[in-house]
Each structure stands twice: as structure tokens, then as C-alpha cells.
Amino acid sequence: MTELHDLDATAQAALLRRREVSAVELIQHHLDRIDAHAEALGAFITVTGDPALERAAEADRKLADGDTAPFLGVPTAFKDLTSTAGVRTTMGSVVMQDNVPEIDAYVVELVQRAGFISLGKTNTPEFGLSSYTDNDLVGSARTPWDVTRNAGGSSGGAAAAVAARLVPVAEASDGGGSIRIPASCCGVVGFKPSRGRVSAGPLGSDWSGLAGDGAITRTVRDAAAMLDAMAHPMPGDLRPLPDPDTAFTAWAAREPRRLHIARWSTPYLPGIEASESSVAAWEAASRLLESLGHEVVDVDNPFPAELEPQFNVVWSSAMAAAPVPEEAITTLRPNTRYWLLRGREASGVDLARAIQFLEATTRDVVTSMREYDVWLTPTLALPPQPSEWFTESGDPTEDHRRELLFTPFTAVYNMAGVPAASLPLGWTDDPTLPVGVMLAGRPGEDGPLFSLLAQVEGAAPWADRAPPGPWSA
């Protein structure tokens, strides 16, 4: 018998519309699972059970009255970097542990307008800075495939929650891989939209062009549905993409044409190599794509290593601008202080030059690669690692070096502003750990990318593959 939590969000919404389950029953079922399993996984920082049940009762009344919101009554969660009115938003930091925003991020408003009900705020590293999730509030987020290993970052709590079936889908954000990294570590789907596809309003900013909201899901159709809910510009957006002419769910239901796909497995940074498991998953994905009729071509990694130091100027400057009182700096984690102090060393001229370099260089890459419809790489260079692997030296410079060893593929797609997704297409043996493979499309072509992702999912489905442990029951 299929349990409620084994259904994706689309299937749960269908049950609710047929009145085969009530929203109160569905929300309570997932809250019970959060109560039983979230602490062991470090998935949530804040759980909002009572407000969720109140919204569920309201959803049942609306369903009875024929309300057509597509996901009315379906559970979700928001990352604890995302502003939620009346619900604390800690940004993974003890400095912000009592912060309760007065206003929702626009993406929260849009997701809730689609009918989703939030069950709380998912775990994230301090200010979302690292590719692993750990903080001084609730500790690390762990992949349900092996709780000795980190769930990845910075949307680690979201990925752990979705993989363990605590929620079917979760909002997430990605400034250098923060959706795709944990998706790979937890064996789920992570979709980063094109730059400007999802609004950062009303209080957020897309000044660097790196970060944006997306979703972590178990199925491609749910990722498309979440983007359908999110992809609506707000007046005043810096780089708005218009509402799409065709829904992303419609793209996901459409067979793609024969595509010209470029692939590489060599990181853009010298001295870093992808692991055997990462390359094996990438090779298997290449063969699968060829079996589906696509042309897969080997190319050299088109991104130059000179991007990295300029990316670091932008990344550290963002942290230097964070709302941290001077007297609270000593309470920050060493990795956070490292980025804040590094950012203070950069001048305004340094920052302007860095942004210009990223934009000009990645424009050249996108232009030189225009003959290819899609790019194929590993998501990560290594399988999920323990939190201690990153932090054991006590030196944040070494922490940064190890993060680059771990994830040398994802950030270039933030610099280029292209849509990119991690799919759980590979697995290690003994222990069994998920290994993601990354597919990226042309800027603004999120829809065609969804067609390919859905085709791949249909040929090599993964949604029924549950991680071992008590959460699989």
C-alpha cells in the first residue's frame, strides 16, 4: 500500500481534489513524520505545526467550495534564509536567532498562493555560505542515506526533508550550487532556474546576479510545478524574465527534440579531479542520453580558472554587507568570519571589476557554446562527506579549499545565469550513496530543459528509491 508521504506533491494534490484525504489529515501525517525524524536528520530549524494545521482546516473549507489553487493543502517548507512574516528567520546564525520578519519574501507569497502549506523553516549553514549545512543553532543536516555524512549545502535541510519524505517539495535557494549540491547528496531533484526567473523581492536583491530561488523535489514534474508557482516577476525586479508563454509543467510533459549535448568531467580549477563515482554516473548518463537519440559530444571545460578569485570577491562582499552588528562578529562561526573579513578587504572598485569580469567572461562562454543545447557534467566531484571533513583543521582557508575539492562544477552556472538541475542518476556501492549528474540549458530556456529532464526520468526513474532507515517505513 502506498503511504501518503510516498506520493509526490502532484499526486497529493490530486488526492485532495478527489477528497480521498483531507488537508488536515495530510498535514498532520507529515508533521508526525517531522516529529519522528527531523531531529535525527537536522532537517528543520523551526517547525510551524499549529499554524499549518489552521491553514489545513482553511484549505479543506476552500476545497469544499471549489477553490482551484493547484496545490491547495499540500505541505512544503521554506529555507531559513527566506523571509517569512511572523515566523523566525535565523539565516542559520545565532546572531539572527530571534529575527522575526514582518514581511514575506515574494516567493513565499507565490508558493502559498498556489495552495502549499508551510510546515516550517529548513536548516541552512550560517548565512548560507557553505556547501555543507552546519550551524550553532541545531547542528548539521545529514543525508538520510547515511546520517554520518552531511546533506550538503546550503539547502541541506530542504534536501534532507524531501529525501526522507518529511515534505514532498521544499523551496530552496542557490548562489553557487546550494540547490544542486544537497540534491546530489540526498538523492533528489534540484532545479536552479535561469537568472531573473524568480523574483528576489520585495526586500531581497539580485545585485550580484548569482543567487536565486528554486526547489528541491523528488520528481521532475514537481520541480516544474514549483517553478510555475514561483516564476512571476515583481515590479522593480532588477533582471526580470517575463511570465512564460508555456507552463513548465507543460514543457515537462513534452517530448524533447533531438538535442546537441556538450559534456565534460574536468573541473575548471586546476588540481581538482572528479571521483570515480562521479565520473561513472556521468558516463552512465551520457550513454542514457545517447540511447534516447541525443548527440553527446566531448568538449574541454569552457570556463576559465580566472573566474574563481573574482567570484570570491563578489561572494565575500555579500557577506561583508550582511546585517551583523560589530559586537556580534566574534560569535560568528570561523568560516563566516573568514568571508566577512575577506569581503571587507575588497574595495568598491574591486567589486565592480569582479562583477564585470564574471559577466563578460561567462557571456563569452555562453556565446562560444551556442551550438550546444545542453551541457552535461557531474554535479559534485566527491560523494557526500562528513561535516568534520570540512571543519576538522580549524582553519577556514582549508575549509574553503576542501569545499572546492567537493563542488568544483556548480558555481560557474550561477555566474553564467543558466538553468541547471541535478538528477539522482548514480549510486555508490558499500555504502549506497546517491551521486548526482548535472544538466544545464541555455539562458532563459528552463522549459526545454524540463522536457529533457522528464525524458531522462522516464527512462531511468528514481522516485521510488527510498533511503534506508526509520524514515523509509
DSSP code at position 416: H
Residue of 79, 118, 121, 451 marked active site:
79
**What's the half-sphere exposure (Cβ side, CA atoms, 13 Å) at 129?**
27
Phi/psi zone of residue 137: left (φ > 0), alpha (ψ -120 to 50 degrees), beta? alpha
Contacts of 378 by beta carbon, 8 Å cutoff, 6+ apart: 265, 274, 278, 279, 281, 282, 409, 435, 436, 437, 438
Alpha carbon 165 to chain centroid distance? 16
Residue of 178, 184, 317, 451 marked active site:
178
Alpha carbon distance 56, 51 (integer Å): 9
**What's the half-sphere exposure (Cβ side, CA atoms, 13 Å) at 448?**
16
CB 17 within 8 A of CB 63: yes
Tell me the backbone φ, ψ of residue 113, rounded to 5 degrees.
-65, -30
Is position 178 annotated as part of the catalytic site?
yes
Is position 194 annotated as part of the catalytic site?
no
Helical residues (DSSP H) of 66-147, grouped into ranges: 106-113
Alpha carbon distance 272, 172 (integer Å): 27
Is position 154 annotated as part of the catalytic site?
yes
Residue of 154, 194, 278, 422 marked active site:
154
CA dihedral 110, 116, 119, 125 (to 10 degrees): -40
Residues annotated as catalytic (active site), given as ranges: 79, 154, 178
